[in-house]
A and B are shown apart, each in its own frame.
Chain A
């Protein structure tokens, strides 16, 4: 079957990585050491209309340990969100990020908090990567006041203005043209910052994506379009929905780079390269080859349109956290037990944040009417009928 043949490709990248020379390079480091370690990315980058960057990425023991810690926390957060949803403490629509953590982690390692990020509705971990807290995340997920959108957004609408995170957007593909607007503002102000506009392989087929690409290229905007290709747009495999699933080439005149999105260092290298490129030459597409372990949303078991073998295969062969774990062990930066302890600590932090979030109250009733318009510029809102409830929107 075509499906079986195609999905086996998902397992490819790490098989090259396991033979990577960096694993042989055992040297004892202390974790706060700033010694440079050079790591080879799992697979080479593939470029479209551009010369791809080198496979060798410099890192430090500290960064390696941070990658592991942060990704373990993200993974734990998403698993906890899954059970909170099942116990009906999270309502509405909820899309989990587990499996794709390396994209957020790698991207953050290459850029600053003055670079903008805008993404779709799979936004929990992007928020965390931008410096958001677990308490804000869980509070928002459960619709509490302590949430990052004060409980009014929910799972799909996380924002963090002080870290230039322009948030989670609910409509497939709609955030990408917005990203171009952000990039234009950055260019106009002559800032040396760029915008990462993230979307999925499903959204790559939306018409507005091509409108955004044209504008970005026409005006040389410092916009980096990050296609998180997790290979399924909801329940439809990429090759069933796209004539060309080579999303990095879909910009035609816009250069692109295909990246192993399960390898945080490949993502880091690509984002560093893309930022330099975008500031000099305008937009570029980064296609992150990644994978989501959960279904599209909580109502999708995630196993009807792909095999369980495929999921467990990716977990075994390409898992982004396992990859970092192997690197840490190979460089003797920590013992297996120490890494297990880090994961235990992540679990504890998550549990504490959930307990605290549960204590946060729901938003006050008048909040229903706030933020519809700017305060003081509002209009009257009417209730049951025009006589019954009447409030001037605060």
Chain B
């Protein structure tokens, strides 16, 4: 116990440097995006450097502009929302299409399901992913099963629920949680999490136009922090397709959202020690792209998964189980999971709780030297 805690302390102090690293790293337009740019040339228009919330704003603007039957609603979205994602949209498209709702998450989602069932694109915002739980019943029992239980007569495929998730440095218990795993247990919805501004714009447009209900979690830590070139026009990125954002041969790392930039840094540090890491952005959590992950693990023989949500019952467990089923004889070490701890999301202990770069680096080394 004592040594363990000493270890935590080290992580804690490292975390502080590490935040600066992230800042530097993201504002100089990200290592992530450089690989990304090679793989996916901009589809339309010339790219400008913008941050993640502006990219979301552009996607929403395009969604409203390209389909007159699309609507945005949520708490305070008429004024731009707490994270400024809907700035200017009510002015541009009118208060009948971009409007505030009362503070009632269950009502917001239920309303969205009805709106979508009439053939509209309902884009609902839940102000923080932590507040999504009053709407859990509507999402799990109403939205996800509408098509199935009506024998395909009805559906609410036009529904997209946006919610900022994850740590933000000092958010405490109710502004920092990562609830994605709860929703990954629900066939009938899709769960999408982008890692960067360009990804966010393309994936959000795909989610809005997707004929199934989508829960779209946005990494709130990156809203202002992550900046990269984003094509100005309308483009979509495919759902359920993972992307290898860094190629390597010794170990496969799988993650999503804000955690990828932390993992990327661990990959860079591991490289200095001669370990070649392959990094995969899962992007869509259900239905997820098993083939890409499987192909990578067949190549490297090792797998590490990292997410902010607590380790027990996290989506990492599902990935681990699936890959063990598919690649059992190819694996050279147990699958490693570097995740949040099994405690409520803490206030002052956030640096200890988080799956930081050094925790990942340690796990990479342990797995490779197993």
Contacts and interface: CB of A to CB of B under 8 A. Distances in A.
A240 interface: yes
Contacts of A206: 103-104, 106, 134
A240 B77 CA distance: 13
Main secondary structure of the interface of A (DSSP, over half): loop
Interface stretch (A26-34, A281-289, A377-385): A377-385
Contact of B100 (A240, A389, A391): A240
Interface stretch (A45-53, A151-159, A257-265, A344-352): A151-159
A206 B104 CA distance: 5
A181 interface: no
Nearest to A236: B100
Interface in B161-190: 169-175
B103 A390 contact: no
Interface in A360-387: 362-363, 365-369, 372, 379-387
Contacts of A172: 103, 131
A385 B102 contact: no
A386 B363 CA distance: 10
Contacts, number: 147
Contacts of B76: 234-236
Interface string B333-370: 00011110111101111001101000110110010000
B337 to A, nearest CB: 5
B16 interface: no
Contact of B131 (A93, A171, A304): A171
Chain A interface size, as a band, is 35 or more
B171 A389 contact: no
Nearest to A205: B102
Interface stretch (B4-12, B25-33, B34-42, B257-265): B4-12
B341 A368 contact: yes
Contacts of B7: 383, 388-389
20 contacts: A91-B170, A91-B347, A92-B171, A92-B172, A143-B347, A156-B172, A206-B134, A207-B107, A234-B82, A236-B75, A236-B102, A372-B342, A381-B342, A382-B312, A382-B341, A384-B360, A385-B337, A385-B366, A389-B341, A391-B4
**Complex A-B, nearest 4 residue pairs according to Cβ-Cβ distance, in ascending order:** A91-B170, A205-B102, A170-B174, A143-B348
Interface of A: 91-93, 143, 151-154, 156-157, 170-174, 202-203, 205-208, 233-236, 240-242, 299, 304-305, 362-363, 365-369, 372, 379-391, 393
Given A91-B170, A241-B103, 18 more contacts: A91-B347, A143-B347, A151-B348, A153-B173, A173-B103, A202-B103, A236-B78, A299-B82, A365-B5, A365-B352, A366-B5, A383-B8, A384-B338, A384-B363, A386-B311, A387-B366, A388-B7, A389-B7
